[in-house]
Amino acid sequence: MSISLCRFLRLTRKSGIVEKCVTRLHIFFSVTLVLLICIFGIGKLKAL
């Protein structure tokens, strides 16, 4: 199981598909995180 997974990751790494997906996910998550922090910050300021 783990051997086939490593082999699959090696194959996808060569094509660079995983990197693209990971970077897109990372960007998406960081953007959503910043938006959530901003929304919560504004909410707290309005509450004060």
Q: What is the pLDDT of residue 3?
A: 77
Q: Global pTM?
A: 0.51
Q: What is the mean pLDDT of the chain?
A: 83
Q: For 1-48, where are the E strands, in sequence order? A: none
Band (27; pLDDT cuts 50, 70, 90): very high
Q: Are 39 and 32 in contact (CB under 8 A)?
A: no
Q: What is the pLDDT of residue 34?
A: 95
Query: Distance between CA atoms of 38 and 33, rounded to whole angstroms?
Result: 9
